[in-house]
Structure 1
């Protein structure tokens, strides 16, 4: 039985080392690491990425797939849900570093299966919604960039894109500001600002990054 860590590194402010270090700090013992760099989780399905394709070839019954969060598998609702369900049918366990979620084929009771499937659907939908919010904020930033730079950039945020994604993911799972602050190193005030206005937080970050 093998534990494979898969990472999708899509932007310059994300790193493979950070994702792997985060997983090991959470207690995961990793046998193999696969990663795709510079690919979109929205437009490129997991099985169409070079290392994602290898993941489908490698995973067998009894293996464990570890990802930072489901958005590393993709940001398209249908692709993510289909991927997770296929792996579960193979007898693979999927585990996330953030929130320690576990998805496998063990539930036998129909109600337990329904709860598991609903949670998978919710997390996949959240990943797609976050991607759409980021894209909208990028468009807004590009439009603003045509004007006075001093007028649109605002205050430089204290987080990068990966940290913001972690905050939004934990908020969507009901974690409190104190727990998120401890996990990310951000202040509670920053967490609450993101919670109260996630769209503005995305927009402000994009204004300070190369778009």
Structure 2
């Protein structure tokens, strides 16, 4: 029997440290020898989790323990989460979720078979309940994000949102000064910066707006 941890964050901007630390502390406090902690930093939208796949398909064996901090680390919605839980159960891998106390009880050590059956039933009900709650929380978060984006668009602030900028405006301004100095053509600079035609001229327009006198000279 071996114990493994798994933790996932939705983006690379989020730190894995907290989840890793929680798993390590739990194992230390409960005398569990932790073999390894597998981590992914992938959005839950497409749930592309290469390290989780390796863990489940190639590493976990019958009788092993899988530790996660929260149930939504396993799936984006209730259906996906329950599918992962059933897969682990079918392989006799014990799932322990730190936020869910019923999963932390070792039911195999209970002598009373009826009591054990009751606790297993309660545990499965709690897992399904938490999966439903996790899905609901994700849906509410996405709804708030959609509403926030819609309001930003109405206020004309969408450019401040969305995807990361292709290049910082100050970096573009410094680079474009080579064009105004006659050192390089606009076409060559566009290729050098790796910007699309639309993106390049969007940055160029902003640059001219901040440097009106240059704009006047370029129009001639």
TM range (shorter): 0.5 to 0.7
Q: Which runs of 5 or more structure 2 residues have no equivalent in the other structure? A: 158-220
Report deviation, 1:49: 2.4
Report if the CA contact (8 A) 2:6-2:39 is conserved: yes
- Give the length in aligned residue pairs: 146
Name the SS for the 2:136 alignment partner.
Answer: helix
Structure 1 residue aligned with 2:127, among 92, 116, 120? 120
Report if the CA contact (8 A) 1:91-1:105 is conserved: no
Name the SS for the 1:112 alignment partner.
Answer: helix
Structure 2 residue aligned with 1:39, among 40, 43, 49? 43
TM-score (norm 2): 0.58
Structure 1 segment 98-113 matched on structure 2, within 5 A = 98-102=99-103, 106=108, 109=114, 110-113=117-120
Q: Which has the larger radius of gyration?
A: 2
2: CA distance between counterparts of 1:33 and 1:101?
A: 22
Which structure is higher in RCO with an 8 Å CA cutoff and minimum separation 6?
A: 1
Report if the CA contact (8 A) 2:107-2:119 is conserved: no
1: CA distance between counterparts of 2:102 and 2:16?
A: 21
1: CA distance between counterparts of 2:74 and 2:156?
A: 35
Q: Which runs of 5 or more structure 1 residues have no equivalent in the other structure? A: 151-211
2: CA distance between counterparts of 1:143 and 1:68?
A: 33
Structure 1 segment 62-211 matched on structure 2, within 5 A = 62-102=63-103, 106=108, 109=114, 110-148=117-155
